[in-house]
Every structure is written in structure tokens, then in C-alpha cells.
Structure 1
Amino acid sequence: MDSAPTALRDIEQPGLYWKPGLFGARPTWTKEPSIDKATELARKHLELPQDELIELKAFAEGAFNKLYEIACSKGQFVFRVTLPVAPKVKTSSEVATLGFLDQKTNIPVPEIIAHSDNFEDDLGFEWILMERMPGHPLREVWHEMSWLHKELLVQQIVAFMVQLYHLKLSGIGSLYSNGSPTISGCSTHYTVGEAVTQAFFIEDHIQQPIYRGRFASSQSFVDAHMAFLQHDITKLQHAEDSDSYDSDDEEQAEGMLEIYTKLQNVIPKIFTTPAEEHEHEESILFNGDISLNNILVSSSGSLVGIVDWECTTTVPPWYACQIPQFLDGLLPTSTTSQPQPPLPLTPEALADKDAVQFHNEQLQCYELTCLRTFFVEEMRRQCPEWLVHWKDGAKKRDVLIAIEECGDDSQWTLINGWLDAVLDGREPKKGLLEAMWTPVGE
């Protein structure tokens, strides 16, 4: 294996530190955003008088963001401050994505009031000021919703995904705009540029001089993922020279290198179309985080919004046509069994909070599994070609899963087994994603 590139990009990331951990590094804040400065920015862009008292209250924190709620005379808003994990491009692509969705679809998303993709302003961080959409996260009201509302919600999600499927773009990356989508009546032109994904910016990946889009082909997109994997392996191989050296690093590097080598031989078998860099592949806008937390519903369960569109990408149909995250991974435990609802709780069990919680979790899993089947049938009715891409693209998606999960030694047996089957010309008994979700022994 060739050595990874050594000439770094020198991307500034003030306020960010990647803290090592058992399950990988996680982003941490080395300084807190100034509430006073954030308040003044909100006041300015909401055009509030100086004598109006407003207060930013912390109400949520994501992997890369701190969110503050604002209640004022003009309504309710969210001021979101973000770590510079991918300076400028992460914020600008998210703002463009929301503008594109507002302009081209009827998917309910928050309106952007103002934003800054420059961490050198008064706040010292990138930020977005947006409306606070009404409703509750789907996770919070699931057990109060009727089955009819759950089916109606899935139908709406299908309809939204069909809209995105028919909005064909060109090239693989993320969306950017040449105008402000917050100006009423503005017809903004959107282009595909650098891809903003965690694989491309996690830890020191943002510093690596590896091409990150716009990609012309699936092959070049996968090649970039392989380049980052190569970098990670090389870093482990030279870990003995660093202060963070661990005696397990050598074994980790050997295991990852074995998978990397197999992938080099598997990729040409699955991505059989050669990269044509003069023509850009057709692509679709894809949000991989349509989750129980990001789907907002009313108290009765009616869909009111979908939030959190950061790291949304434009990818080929084989990648974009995936089951939404809140329904994914909930498969029957074998190819022949049908999901079964949990048994009703006894009167004694109803008095046990832990028993009730466990029962509710099992019931939710059963219902989501049933709704996954309903999603597939509804997609077959509304857009059968979407299902063709979903089924035919499984192996291609599994290649990216193998790359992304390569650092997790608990998955090595499954990954190697899947790769060996493909290399031997055998059809794997299960797709890699399905195998990872299937309980041991099934």
C-alpha cells in the first residue's frame, strides 16, 4: 500500500478538539459561544428594537452544534452555533439545501432567517438563525399516535422521497447556491460542489489533500473513501512515533489492511462502469438522517416538519434510494419468520416502570418493522423505479459500509465474510447491512 499524502491542507478549526475515545474520536468545544453576542446577532437579523427583552435559552445539543431557542414578538426561532468540523462548506451547503427544498419541493423544512459561514465574525463560530418549527420529535409522541397516523406519516415520507428522486442533479457532492434563498421571491441557482460528509471531515480527514468533489462518477466517489481509509491505516502503522500510541494499533492496522486489500479487488467487480470524468453522473439529493428525532409531528401525530439537513449530499440513485433512517435496520430475525408483537403486559407488569419501558421499546420495534414493509409497498405504488435502484444498489452500498465500518474490529468477521463471497463469485447469504443488523445465530 502506498503511503498516504503528507502535504496537509492547513484548515483552521478554532474552538474544536477531537477527543479520543473507545468508540472513536468525538468533537468537543474548547470554548463556549458568547450568549451576549449571539443575542445581538439574533436581534439584528430579526430586526427587533433595542428595548425589547429577548433571551437565548439552550435547549438542545447535537454532535457538532449547540442550539438556543428564542421567543420574541416576531415568533419562535432557533439560533444554532456549529463547530468548524468542515469550515464554511458545511454551513453554506446546509443553507443551500434548505433553500433548494423550499424552492423545488413541498417538504416542510425550517426557514433560514440569516446565517454566517465565517467563524472570524464577532461570535467566533459559524451560525444559522432559523424559524423554530412547531411540533414534537416523533420519538416523543410515538406511543400516543394512532396506527392510521403512523401509516399516513410513512405515506408522506414516501411522497417527499419521490419528489427528491425526480429532481435529478449532476455530479456527486453537496449543494451550494449563488444567491440568498432567504430573500422572498429570489430564484436561486444551485450547483453541486464539494461533498460534506463525516467520512470526509472526521478527526484529521479535513486536513488531508484528498479530492472531495464534485465527483463525476461513482468510482471516483468510492476512490475518495478508499483514500481516507488508506490514510487511517497508514496513521496506525506509524502510531508508534506518536504520543497516543497504543499496543493494539499494530493489530488494528493489520486487520484494516486485510479488508482494504480485499476491497481493492472487490470494487472493480461491483463498480463495473469505468469512471468517465468528462460526464457527470446523474444524482439525487439524499438525507441519511431522517430519524425519529428529526421528524416533527403534532400532538395527534400529523407531520409538521423535517429538520436537520446538515451533511445532505447529492449521490447516484444506487446510494440515494435507501430506506429512511427511522425505518432502517428493523428486519425480521430470519428470512422466513414474520415479526410478532410483544405479549400484552400483565397487571403486575404494568406497575413496573422498567417492564413498561421495555414493552414499549419492543412494541415500537415491531411497529416500525411493519411500517418498513408498508413503506416498500407504498414506494412500489408511487415510484417502482426507486425500488429497482434500492435492490440493485445493495452491493454498492455495502462496499461503502465495509469502508466506513473497517475501523470497528467487532465487524471484521462479517465484512471479511461478505468480501470473500464476492471475491469467490458467490452470492452472499445476506447483504452486509442486513448481516450487521441480524442477531448472532440467525
Structure 2
Amino acid sequence: MPTKPRDGLAWNDTGLNNVPVWTRDPNLDGIVKTCREKLHTTDVSVSFFAQGAFNKLYLVQSGENNPSYIMRVSLPVHPQAKTRGEVTTLRFLRTHTDIPVPDVLAFDDSANNEIGFEWILMECMPGVSLYKKWRTLSAFQKARLVQRVAGFQSQLMRHPFSGIGTLLDTSEEVGQKPQPGELVSTSFFDGAHFDLDIPRGPFRSTHDWLASYLQIAISDHATDKKEAEDEEDEDDVADAEFALGVTRQLISLLPKIFPPLVNPPERSVIMHQDLSLCNILVNDRGEITAIVDWECVSAMPLWMATEMPKFLDLSTRDEEPRRDGYGDESDGENGGDGGDDDDALDNEGKNELYWIHLMEYETTQLRELYNTSMRQMNPGWGLLVDDSAFRQDFARAAFYCGYGFSLKKIAKWVDAVEQGEYPRLMDVLEG
């Protein structure tokens, strides 16, 4: 009997955000049976490996000398489209770039199977997360790694698409280039957002995409207002009305920044928006062995590709912190003491603040190297970065407004723009 589209998924409203919850577990026997069928062997062992926001990962092993695999079982946050989009993206990257991503052996974008959820069976990539290795790498190794990431980004820039959305392979012709389809994005499927009657892509332009996003924000703030009115909470009613006002200001400003009529559709490129230390795997020499977690990755506007990779996008710190200027590690801080926390790093006896400031200093230097590398590999990169800054500010203001963050300062920024001034959004937020 077919399952309901989002069966197995519930949402826990924490007050700050919605957290996806598994209402039932994947069928472990079904995972074993499926792996045996796809690997063509009965010699299969399956063990729990890790869990992400929307997935449970299982390590699949078959004999001592055979490669290992990952069975990635997904919650139906965006049924069919999320799984198919990730598979299409991974296969495109393996065909058209040398970015090290997992090979997909098999997948099922339906929950009507013995596992009970959508799944992807993929290659288990070698290496450990850059998060665990960063402090042990030399300055030269870190610089070389950043140059490699710039090389990956440059390859993506050389494969543009038409329109905005998650890649969808609809052609029956082998080797035919996939095209952007419906956008798979947390903002669009989070909680009740999945059921909103809004355009979901593919979008012809940034204007159309952000217009849909701001419709979601209007819906959220209107819901907050109604709930506050029902509870007769005047302060919350006022907050919701203010949020609605700021959102409507952004909607009014939108067509002045992004043209509503675009022909041909706006150019876009694949963009990994969560390129954190945890999603980059490296070997003992600090060389990249894999880029992972390509779910919800889409073809996004060209101007967005000028954003700094997430692991480099930290606060600016121009002066190198002096190690002896920081206190020693306290008993409550995570250190390399062999505790139960697998994510704990060795603080080498120093206060955690030292390592935070050191990371900020290092990434400040490495951002310059990244931009230099991008300019060398992409003629016109510097001009594209300059032209994209204001667009990035508007998009960030829209996202912050949707989440209800810093609304008064966003309103201040919008007022300045409407008066013909163009301060950087972060300067206003931090001012």
C-alpha cells in the first residue's frame, strides 16, 4: 500500500525553529536486503554511522577487501525532489568536474520500499572532516587547500545553467545536461511551508525566487500576529505587525534591485551553501579527499557564487592572537582528553577563545588568497564581486526578515536604501 507523501516525518516547533522528527525508524532488515540486492552479494553488514538534520546514515560493508558504502536514508521533507535532485547533482559533478564526490550506486526517491523511506546507496569517501584536522595543518597546507577549493568553485562557474532551481534530469538521452527544476530548500519545505500555495520554481530570475521567499515570510508573520491576537498579547501583536511592515518594505524594494522580467532566464551555477569544515574531508597531508552533503544544493544566481565559502566566512581579525595572552583551558571546556564527545578538539591546554580568535585571523588571511585565486582563474571575478555586493545584502536582509532577526536594523538599512544611501548591511547590523 503506498505511503502518504510525508509519512514518517513530524516537526517539533522549538519556538525558534522547526526541528524534523522521525516518527518511526527505517527498517534495518530492509536496508540489509536492499544492499544485498544492489551489491549482488549476501556478505553484507550494516551499522549505524551518523545522523544529519534530515538523514540517517548507515555504514555498509561487504567483505574485508571490498570497498565500504553509505546507505543514506532520508526523511520525506520534500518527497522525491530532494533525493532525485541530490543524485542528479552528484552525477553531474562526477561527469563534468574533478570535485571528489561520492559515486551513487543506486537510489529510490519513493518511500514505497522495504526500508520505508527514500534512500541513496553511495560510495563511502575516504578521509576525516577538516574540522578535526584544521588545527594540525600547517599554514602552507591550509593555503593549498583554499586554492583547491577556489579551483572547484571555478569549475562550477564554467558550467552555468539557465534559471534557478534544483537540478532535475528529465531527459531520456544519455549525457543530456540536466536543468533546474523545483527548488529544494529548507525555507520552502520547513514545517507548514511545504503546503503553502506559492511558486516553487524553476525560477526565471532572482526577483521571482525572492518574491516567493518573501511570501513565506509574510505568511509566517501573519500567523504570528493571529496567534498573538488570539492570546491578547499586545506586545507580540506589535512585534508581528512590525515584522510584516519590514517584509512589505522589502517586497516593494525588490523590483528596484532585481528586474521582474528577464529573458533569457537568469544564469545560475551549482552552489554548495554549506561548505563548512565538517563537509570537507581530508587525508593526513591535508589534501581534500571529498566534498560531501550535497542535499538541497541547487543552481543559484551567478551573483550568489561570489559569496565566500562557509568555512572562510568568519569575523575579520587582522592581528594574530598571542597564545600567551589567553588563559588556560578550564575543566568544563572540550579538550582532547579522550572524553565521550567525538567532536571534541585538543585545545592544548589553552582557553577556547584563543582558538576562535586564531581561526578568525587565519581565515581573514585566507579570504584574500581565495579571492586572488578566483581572480586568476576567472577573468572579471573582481568586477562580479563588486557588482554582487548590494544584491547579497538585499538577499541577506530578506532571509533575516524571514527568520525575524534584527528587524529594526533591517528596517534602518531599507530606509537608507530608499533614501539613496547604500550602506553595507553588515555595517548596519553591527553598528
Cα gap change, 1:347 to 1:284, in 2 (>3 Å): closer
Structure 1 window deviating more from structure 2 (317-326 vs 101-110): it is 317-326
**Residue 367 of structure 1 aligns to which amino acid in structure 2?**
E
1:254 equivalent in alignment to 2:241: yes
Corresponding residue for 2:338? Answer: none
Matched, 1:197 2:189: no
Instruction: Give, in whole Å, the separation in 2 of the partners of 1:209 and 1:20.
Output: 21
Give the C-alpha shift of residue 98 in structure 1: 0.4
What is the CA-CA distance between 1:15 and the residue it aligns to?
1.0
Compared CA separation, residues 248 and 175, structure 1 to 2 (3 A): farther
Moved more, 380-389 or 341-350: 341-350
1:368-379 correspondence to structure 2 within 5 Å: 368-379=363-374
Aligned to 1:329: 314
Q: Which amino acid aligns with 1:281?
A: E
Structure-2 residue corresponding to 1:290: 275
Equivalent residues of 1:252, 1:409 under 8 A apart:
no
Q: How far 1:125 sits from its partner (Å)?
A: 0.8
Match of 2:207 in 1: 219
Contact 2:327–2:351 at 8 Å: present in 1 too? no
Q: Distance in 2 between matches of 1:266 and 1:204?
A: 27
- Correspondence for 1:281 among 233, 248, 266: 266
CA contact (8 A) 1:265 1:423 kept: no
- Indicate the larger mover: 377-386 or 297-306: 377-386
Does structure 1 retain, via aligned residues, the 8 Å contact 2:90–2:102? Answer: yes
Q: Is the 8 A contact 1:64 1:82 kept in 2?
A: yes
Distance 1:180 1:159, change over 3 A: farther
Distance 1:240 1:360 in 2: 43
| CA positional deviation for 1:180 | 9.3
1:71 matched to which residue of 2? 61
Q: 1:407 Cα deviation (Å)?
A: 4.5
Offset of residue 279 of structure 1: 2.8
Offset at 1:423?
0.9
Contact kept in structure 1, 2:326 and 2:351, CA below 8 Å: no
- Of residues 318-327 and 394-403 in structure 1, the stretch that sits farther from structure 2 once superposed is 394-403
Q: Which of 352, 355, 377 is 1:360 aligned to? A: 355
One-letter amino acid matched to 2:207: Q
Residue 93 (str. 1) matches residue 85 (str. 2): yes
Q: Secondary structure at the match of 1:393?
A: helix
Cα drift, residue 189 of structure 1 = 3.6
* 1:340 alignment counterpart: 319
Distance 1:148 1:207, change over 3 A: same
Work out which structure has the larger RCO, using CA pairs closer than 8 Å and 6 or more positions apart in sequence.
Answer: 1
Answering whether residue 220 of structure 2 is matched by residue 232 of structure 1, we say yes
1:46 pairs with 36, 39, 45, which one? 39
CA contact (8 A) 2:129 2:279 kept: yes
1:3 alignment partner in structure 2:
none
Amino acid in structure 2 at the alignment position of 1:219: H
Give yes or no for contact 1:195–1:214 (8 Å, CA) kept in 2. Answer: yes
| 402 and 130 in structure 1: CA distance in 2 versus 1, 3 angstrom threshold | same
How many residues of Structure 1 are paired with residues of Structure 2 in the alignment? Answer: 410
| 1:213-248 C-alpha deviation (Å, 9 max, x unpaired) | 111122111211122112212222332688x99776
SS at match of 1:405: helix
C-alpha contact (below 8 Å) 2:222/2:244 kept by paired residues: no
User: How far did residue 357 of structure 1 move?
Assistant: 3.5
| Paired-residue identity, % | 34
The residue type paired with residue 235 of structure 1 is T
1:316-346 CA distance string (max 9 Å, x none): 21122211111113324xxxxxx11211238
Distance 1:310 1:285, change over 3 A: same
Deviations 1:32-76 (A, max 9, x none): 11212112111211111x2x2x33222221111111112223311
Amino acid at match of 1:90: K
CA change 1:347–1:382 in 2 (3 A) is: closer
1:387-416: CA deviation from partner (whole Å, max 9, x where unpaired): 322221222222222222114445113211
The 3-state SS of whatever aligns with 1:299 is coil
Structural RMSD (CA)? 2.5
Shift of 1:208: 1.2
- C-alpha distance in structure 2 between counterparts of 1:318 and 1:288, whole Å: 13
Deviation at 1:289, TM superposition (A): 1.0
**Structure 1: runs of 5+ lacking an equivalent:** 1-10, 333-338
Question: 1:187 maps to what in 2?
Answer: 175
- 1:29 paired residue number: 22
Matched AA of 1:275: L
Shift of 1:108: 0.7
| Pairing 1:84–2:90 present | no
Number of the residue aligned with 2:48: 58
Which one of the candidate residues 199, 210, 215 is aligned to 2:198? 210
Q: Is the Cα–Cα contact under 8 Å of residues 326 and 350 in structure 2 kept in the other structure?
A: no
The verdict on how the C-alpha distance between 1:253 and 1:114 changes in structure 2, with shifts beyond 3 A counting, is same
Q: Report if the CA contact (8 A) 1:77-1:129 is conserved.
A: yes
1:109 to 80, 101, 122: 101
What's the TM-score once normalised by structure 1's chain length? 0.86
Aligned to 1:316: 301
CA distance in 2, matches of 1:41, 1:17: 25
The amino acid across from 2:49 in the alignment is F
